[in-house]
Amino acid sequence: MEAVLSALPWVPVNISGSDLLAKAWFGDSQYRVLLTDLSTVWEEEMSTDDIQSRAQDLNKRLRAPAQAFFSHLCSVARPCFSGLDEDQISAAQAALEQHGESLTVKLKSELAGLPFYWEFRCTTTPVAVVCRQLVRPLLAMTLVLQRQAEDLAALLARKDAEIQDYQENGAVLSRARLQTEPFEVHQYKENFITQILPQMNVTLDSLGFDSELQALYMAVNSGKTGRKRKHSPDSSPAAQENHITDHQHISESTDVGPSLASQEHNNAKESGRSQVANSQQTLPLSSTAGSEDRSTSRAKKKKAVGLFR
């Protein structure tokens, strides 16, 4: 269960007006729920027998197998812990109560035309679980995002070098508004911290965890970024293969000039030998014909063409 729960992302939810991060797993006959307000982390784990006992205790008028109770509970509880809008969880009314170190989420719905009550009675989570489910993955995510920023900075540097090469060979922008200054990574970092970051109004109790961060959390926590990070386009296997291919193309294009020159030189030698051999086996041509052959030979010579004419 721990591994399955680790693969799930934290989702921002609002229960009875309180903002929380939730992580919930519902199996065939058991569940486990984690909730946090970034001050405390609560959890509850229940199995079949415990679910049957609590369902009978909270719903005296209902008599049903444990599987029927659990199936209905899943249908009304999953939306509550998935961050959906209130209109989408109208099948159940949710209430939140905190007593000391305990947190209770109360749900009220209908089953077979009768009220169905359920309570998630969560207690504080051990520190080891908090580290496994929250602290370690978030630290790993910061490393991944830092590497992603470094890759983007390196890409911008290569783009600047490419633009400079175009400019040195006479390329001119058609629209002046598109012109940009060369990217300087240290200056950008300083400006981001001193100018942009204060405008973001980021607080330490922010519960923002959007879909992109959820996807990154799942990738990091499932071990997909162990030796080869797959969520950065520049470091993906396809991108690495393309980078190697591009490097080979650059190397091949760099050696094209000498190779063509050497090939033309060898061809000229071969042509010269062939002409000498033919002249020994045939009658001498007139001076006019010789002049025409020489002019034709000069016309057939190739002229080297570079990237810029």
63 near 150, Cβ under 8 Å?
no
Rounded-to-integer distance, Cα 51 and Cα 72, Å: 12
In degrees rounded to 5, what are phi and psi of residue 265? -65, -45
User: Is 289 within the bounds of a domain?
Assistant: no
Tens digit of pLDDT for each residue in 163-201? 999 989 988 888 888 888 899 999 999 999 998 988 888
Residue span of the structural domain in which 57 resides? 2-125
List, as one string, the DSSP characters of 197-212: HHHHT--TT-----HH
Give the tokens for residue 68.
């029927």
Using pLDDT thresholds of 50, 70 and 90, give the confidence band for residue 280: very low
User: Is 299 within the bounds of a domain?
Assistant: no
CATH number for the domain including 32? 2.170.210.10
Residue whose C-alpha is closest to residue 52's, from 37, 40, 36, 63: 63
User: Is 246 within the bounds of a domain?
Assistant: no
Q: What value does the mean pLDDT of the chain take?
A: 76
Q: What is the pTM of this model?
A: 0.65
Tens digit of pLDDT for each residue in 34-51? 999 999 999 999 998 899
Q: What is the DSSP letter of 100?
A: T
Same domain? For 215 and 167 the reply is yes
Helix, coil or strand: residue 140: helix
Alpha-helical segments (H) within 63-124: 66-80
Number of domains, the chain: 2
Give the tokens for residue 108.
């009220």
Query: Which among 213, 229, 245 is the end of a domain?
Result: 229
Write the CB contacts of 185 (distance below 8 Å, at least 6 apart in sequence). 153, 156, 157
Using pLDDT thresholds of 50, 70 and 90, give the confidence band for residue 297: very low
Return the ∠ at Cα 243 (arms to 216 and 232), rounded to 5°: 5
